Amino acid sequence: MEETRSRGIYLVANHISSEHCHNLIYTIRQCGCRLPIRVLPYGGEPLALKDNFEDVALVRPEDFPAEGREFVAELGRRLACSPGLLQRFLCWFGEFDEFLYSDNDIVALMNWEEMFGYLGDYELVHADHEYRTGVVFNLWQPERFEELLGPGALAMAITAGHFLCRRSPRQVEDLLAGMSWMEAHPEVVKWHDQALMHVTMVLGKWRALNLCKPPHDWASPWAGDYKNSFDVLRTLQAKHQPVSHLHYSGGTPSGAAPIQELLYANLPAGERNQRLLRALMSEASGMNEARRLLKRVRSKVKSICKGKS
């Protein structure tokens, strides 16, 4: 008799990311996915969850086993990145045997329940083109990384903002081993949670499937690869390549760019127009660029400080 596994979706959000989070939940449900959704706190002012979503609930770290909370706390002591980003690792201690984790700057474009069918014998499934970037977002020294960990190590790059996993206790042990490897090679890897995922998958020899690689050849989910919503539709129709989601990574999306129209999918026309007007005014005034530059400076300073520690 086939084993029945529990499945669900985890998000991490707070008040600042509430607009994107509510839009993401809306698009998940509009695409037909009825899996339970659990929203972890990112930190700061908490998310006020709208009550018009079915089987969506806020959860707290206290709702997870003590070993899970301690695991995340240990990562926080050893990995100098935003504590909110590390909350995703509570997923390995949650109620679901198989889970999908998603960042908030994402719009669902298909029923994510279908993606669980690809887990099969795999431990982790994702759909991204991170392996085509030269892995410069994860590593300071990509060539050295492959030299140390063997051929194919770079090709296992992953975007930690969207993935499915069949969890196991061994994976938690592997993550700690990955953390130790990063500490032993700080000159090779960049100090954030996505790099930890990449290192762990290579060291632990996780059975992983990237749906954007042959034979599946799904289209890129990165919003930066598309000019506008029409470009996404053209890819879906003309190229017959599935696009599981759009990920607005690489900065905080202002909502002003043509491709960012989908971030307003859950809004009625009047509210959508007000949000768009504010976004366009911020873009025209230079405020958005100022915020982007400030964020880069802060990130650079953190990286330099970590390298000196």
Distance set, CA 287 to CA 181, 231, 251, 280 (Å):
40, 28, 14, 10
Task: State the CATH architecture for 7-283.
Answer: Alpha-Beta Complex (3.90)
C-alpha 243, offset from chain centre: 15
Per-residue burial over 239-271, b if 16 or more Cβ lie within 10 Å, else e, is eeebbbbbbbbeeebbbbbebbebbbebbeeee
What does the pLDDT read at residue 236? 86
DSSP assignment letter at 162: E
The burial of 66, by beta-carbon neighbours within 10 Å (0-12 exposed, 13-18 middle, 19 or more buried), is given as: exposed
Contact assessment for residue 247 and residue 158, using Cβ atoms and an 8 Å cutoff: no
Per-domain residue ranges of the chain: 7-283
Contact assessment for residue 13 and residue 84, using Cβ atoms and an 8 Å cutoff: no
Mention every residue, 6+ apart, whose C-beta is less than 8 A from residue 123.
165, 166, 168, 171, 206, 207, 208
Taking the chain (309 residues) in runs of 10, the rounded mean pLDDT of each run is 80 95 97 97 93 92 97 93 92 97 97 96 96 92 96 95 96 97 96 95 97 95 95 84 92 86 92 83 67 57 52
The burial of 275, by beta-carbon neighbours within 10 Å (0-12 exposed, 13-18 middle, 19 or more buried), is given as: middle
What does the pLDDT read at residue 296? 57
pTM of the model: 0.90
What does the pLDDT read at residue 214? 94
What does the pLDDT read at residue 240? 75
What does the pLDDT read at residue 3? 62
In DSSP notation, 50-87 reads -S-STTEEE--GGGS-HHHHHHHHHHHHHS-S-HHHHG
Pairing of strands 98-102, 56-58: unpaired
